Structure 1
Amino acid sequence: MSTRRFLSSGLMTLFLLSGFLFANAAFGQGVLIWDGPVPLPRPHMPRPAEANYRITHIGVEGRIQDQIADIQISQTFHNCGSRVIEAQFVFPLPEGGAIDQLTLMVNGHELSGKLMNRDEARRRYEAIVRANRDPALLEWIGHGMFQTSVFPIPAGETRTVTLHYSQLLKRDHDLTEFVFPLSTAKYTAGPIDELSVNLAVSSSTALKNLYSPSHDIGIKRNGKKRANIILSQKHVVPTSDFRLYFDTKEGDVSADLLSFKDDSKEEGYFLLLASPEIKAAMDERVAKTVLFVVDKSGSMSGKKIEQARDALKFVLNNLRKDDLFNIVAYDSKVEEFRPELERYNDETREEALAYVDGLYAGGGTNIHEALSRGLSMLKDNERPTYVLFLTDGRPTNGITNETQIASAAKSANTCRARMMAFGVGHDVNSRLLDRLSRDGFGTSEYVTPDEDIEEHVAKIYNRISSPVLSHAKVAFDSGEGGKGPKVSRLYPDGEFDLFEGEQLVIVGRYKRAGDVTIKLTGKVGDRQETYTFDGELTDETNRQSRVFVAKLWATRRIGELIDELDLHGRNQELVDELIALSTKHGILTPYTSFLADETTVPSLAMDGAAFSNNSAVARDNLQALEAESGADAFAQRAIKQNLKQSNRGGGVGGYSGQLPAPALAGGRPAPGNAAQPVSGPVQVEEVIRNSGVQTLYKRGKLVVTPETAEVDVEKEKDQIQVVQRFSDDYFKLIAANTVSENNLLSQQGPEENLLVKLRGQVYLIE
């Protein structure tokens, strides 16, 4: 069945129905439910016994040419039960672009269906919610629908459902947006075996910024006007929509500004994307300096020294003509490949490779002398300079105090070389590495015992191998005599380098809306350049498609707060800000994981005695940062770096990785990003949920927001309006709600009560 007409709509979400019952999923992710009013299974919650099927694959293939997307989605269901499943698909059509030429196939056979407008679809949505007694579909009320006829899935067999459609994508200023609503797939009873997205994006003019705030995508550029977007995940329960932004502009550097406000009284959030193509204007690549400082102490023996040699060889084989380099190798003593920096050519490469083959492990660890010797060779302030520092342990020879080592390295780094510090294994002094990288304008990279050193070094070197804009800075000019927008708390802040193929992602806060001029300055080769762009910081509040901007800023800010507390000691104001940001945005850390513990019912208050209690718990958890080495210290600093460097703001939770043991008392990670402590996995039963800008917390049978968490239901019952779920009053409330408010109501699970504030009134939905 093919439907040719344009609708005022966005992408479609795929639902499965069995009779009047349904279970939803985004674009092919569905849940099968049998006869009887069984509500949707929720993430990590027990699967209804009747839902005896499995989704093995969801695949998205598509071509995007300028603003036109041609998309095909396929999914495979396997009926694990002993009887036939009579299934039906429903496609809610969110607001957005326009959809044309919609076709649905089941095992290669075209399936008929019915297209419903917004009003007709509302009645259908409400009928499903009433019959199923589950509010999950409420987020789609107000949107159109495409519903198919019934088709069977025989017992023990599989069916592949394929959907094909064309869509006119939305464009906002210079940015084109493609949205693929995967978030409703969180209602599946179990993880999807395989999720894949493969998009070929092309443009009639140059493609510049390509950015996904929701997923860690792969980007392969094919010339100036084409790129492939790749996402591959296994055994996953999607918790956020797939979102892709791209722009097409002429010029050496392209920049886009996205802003968001969740309250007219609060500061807004912004995201700046910049993509350089400066190499096209250069006669030759910028020459750089690369200094290796590599540990060859006794603890590096065996596989680690072999991998370190391979990592050095990889970089040596990929340096470029006119690059300068040297190798400093250290154990108890320090030695160099050459007394001074060498110019890279065929001869020096072969000599350096032979030197690397002669590196063997033995002795102690003299980090201070190795860094002092190496940094003393770096004297050229004009060229981009990088130190690749690698160690697997703690300093044991020479100066061993981490503060003194870091201070000496900072003083010796007179040319502002970027320090790329690699920590190998759990015995490394991870706090020392973070001090070195922070003071050295670089980053820390942590290599677990089962990972390959070469892969980590190659990843970092491939990124920094071709600097195109060095010593770069960003400035915002609002003009208007200082009465225009004022930006603050940018992350990253200060100077940075931009590399070929890299995209700059800066987040910050702003006061006052209005137009701004953005200036990106830096060195291209030996000349200073300035690139100027115009942008707008919005005064529009609660634009749901931009919620990720606020969460991305909060994620990076939390990483910075933890870094400050780690490297500079306790500060009560920073602890309080850490708790407030974690609570508001639902971003858990090892130190605020108590927020996800519904058994102890911690307060979500932002002030008062209850907040002070949370602050005391966080201070106790922060004692874990006193560990300088070991598995817990390693995990904490890796988490911190991930938060600081995050480029995504979708989903729930702050990180995915290892929780240090001290944080386990009364703490569990958030769904969708479930962390694991050193001692084993932790199960989370959807204690924290995100709904647009709102974060909800499960406290026993009551689900609250930070705004209603301190409401005493018994003492304040005269001020609370009680609504029975699925009653006439409930559906009247739904009719009066905005899309974001109905999305909030859709988060209520079976046998839960929801306490929310809508338009100034507190409602208890039972």
Structure 2
Amino acid sequence: MMNCGLVTEKNEPVPLKSISVEVRVQDHVATVSSTLQYVNEEERPLEALFVFPLPADAAVCHFSAKIGEQEIVAEVQERKTARDRYDDAVSSGQQAFLLEESEESLDVFRLSVGCLSPGQNAAVTIIYVTELAVQADHSLRFCLPAVLNPRYTPAGSAAGIVSEISSGCGSVPYTLTLSVHVSSPKPISKLESSCTLDPLVFLHSDHTQATVNLSPGHMFDKDVELFVYYQDTHQPSAIVEAGVTTAPSGSLMRDPVVMISLYPEFPEEVMSLATQGEFVFVIDRSGSMECMMHQGNGAQKRIESAKDTLLLLLKSLPMGCYFNIYGFGSYFENFFPQSVEYNQDTMDQALKRVKEMRADLGGTEILKPLKDIYIQPCYSDHPRQLFIFTDGEFRNTKEVLDLVKHHAHSHRCFSFGIGEGASTALITGMAREGSGHAQFITGTDRMQPKVMQSLRFALQPAVVNISVDWTLPRGITVDTLSPPINVLFQGQRSLIYAQLKGKSSGGSEGTVTVKYSLKDQPVTNQLHFCLKPTEKTGLAIHRLGAQILIRSLEQEERLGNTENEHIEKIMKKLRKRIVKLSVQAGVSSVHTAFIAINKNSRQTVKGPLLQRRVKTQARRCAAPIRESQSGARLKEWILGSLPARRIIGHFDESMAARQASRVIEKRMKPAGKFSREFEKSDYCNLLEASKDTPDPPKDLLLQLVSLQKASGCWELDATLADVFGKTEDELTNQKPAQVDGSVWATLLALIWLYGCKIEQQVEWQFVAMKAASWIGSQKVGDLSQCVCVGNVLLGCHVTKETLRI
């Protein structure tokens, strides 16, 4: 059987042997240097193609190749020119290297390594800089993506680089070595990872510098995540970086660039005000959501984890808000024609349909449900909040982001990337363009706590009328590189990049002032910073600033694309500006590419070069099925077909998928075609497969949450008693005389949450707030005595003050 990912007729080994990565983290910016070792083990000259992921917000700023002792440093050139030069060089027998980003998705790159002689080695180095995202626990997340999923292409769409992605079936044949150096003005508390690390080594007694290495033997078959924890990381700060004296006068690279990090703190009296809204939950129901969350014990299917998360979300919504739920695949379904008011009846209707949800809607087409949501009229005084859950397999990423940006005035978008390989361009891009927040759920992460953290942001009052003012010494002006700030969240970082022009006639300090309104109350945040450049920052800040400006210009170009002659002239000027800025800053763009040619090498090429597709690790489901493309379509039809649903009902699809594969093998014709003439016995075989699946263990927290009413209360009955490990009689007999059954049941639920599930408080915080508010609205006698009795009954030690009633 042919190795997956190769494009040759022979089962030949791929030419990529190893990847070595060095990461330098300075405060919350990372500079990443990756060296890829290639070797041509063929008997003829070889061209290798490697399609791989990078973080969507990365600014690729260096590309070079070393052959023996000779190093060739690439130049950034206009894309067509670079491609022509590469083709000419390879066809004439010269060694050439081309690095270009996908036109469809910002997180996919293609590296072409041309004309390697037989037995020859080449070391290709790619350097990029990227911001580290702040997590809810104030850690900084660095991700080195390894997994590159096949991307779904809607009918009629064009696909460029990303069309070369193919599913892997087997481990990648190359390993990864990784070393990390962290430095910061703030002491480093700790560093955690999703992979096994060697012990952290501090280089100074003040813990401001440290190094750590990935443990040896790591196969690069999953994303590598690192979480850096600093002391007081949420404090506002500024970094001023000096420019390059040899750069053209007035250019971005010549002048200093400042990066401002803001952490707004909202007044408590404003944060305590209740916020209503319209909440629209958009769930990926494509076949890939049948994959497991991870490969360890106790893993759930992604769709099942999403359903549990929907349960928590629906129970956590405030009374009087509006909501709707969409599921999407090749087509979409919505629970209600338009968002409905949240009450007991609509919540029950939604939960019933959530239980019935399956990953059975085929492909991954998100544009249609988004367009349907955007044409719905908004409710006055109920800001629209989108929660989008997907494993992120789209080829039309930029089209999706442009649509979200076009409607950014009417909603906030919170996006969640599920599993290894979710598109960072899509997930972070939707949150950025939709003024929301992005989260990634990978490895053994639980989906629920991350989603509830985002719900906390969504329930914050919307910040409006944001303005940024600069106070600088005479002679200095500022050009802001970042798009205008249109969202601020309590305790979350916002970044501003700006170019400082001119010379100061006196004074070495600047001030940036951010003003905005919260619930009609004016708020002002101010930061004073030193204009003296920070030492040893390289050009990371310049390149990140240049990349942000380039992305803004690229989006402006896409949104203005039209056949109008006048507009086309404007677009041509815009493209020229993008190319000029990309070349000057030495960072990638959609209109440029890195090109390196070894002009000293020339060999006679007889016949076409052998072309090898270097395998990229692709996501694999828990029950991988090796079958032809036709067989894959057939399996999808079997598992999603209405006749199968009618006969089987709600079966376990991971077991059924394996049975479906056996049906496929039996029904496939020699030419690889298939027939849809299936017998009822085939479906019955699927039913039998589902009977062998053991029931998963009960999650007591979710069981308790599922019993809560929309108003926030619980009823005193046997199902609630079962959660506590008691009988209904035990709960009833201990009920104080002065309270009714619902108050007693709700009080017990609160005591149990705080006493037995405090480590999961982030998941049930809004459930508890509703319960406490509901009890507060009831007439309760001696509440302290009730809490004491409840503690004895449940074996807890919770105070009345803890319950916040």
TM-score by length of 1: 0.38
Relative to its length, the structure with more strand (as a share) is 1
Higher relative contact order (Cα pairs below 8 Å, separated by 6+ residues)? 2
Relative to its length, the structure with more helix (as a share) is 2
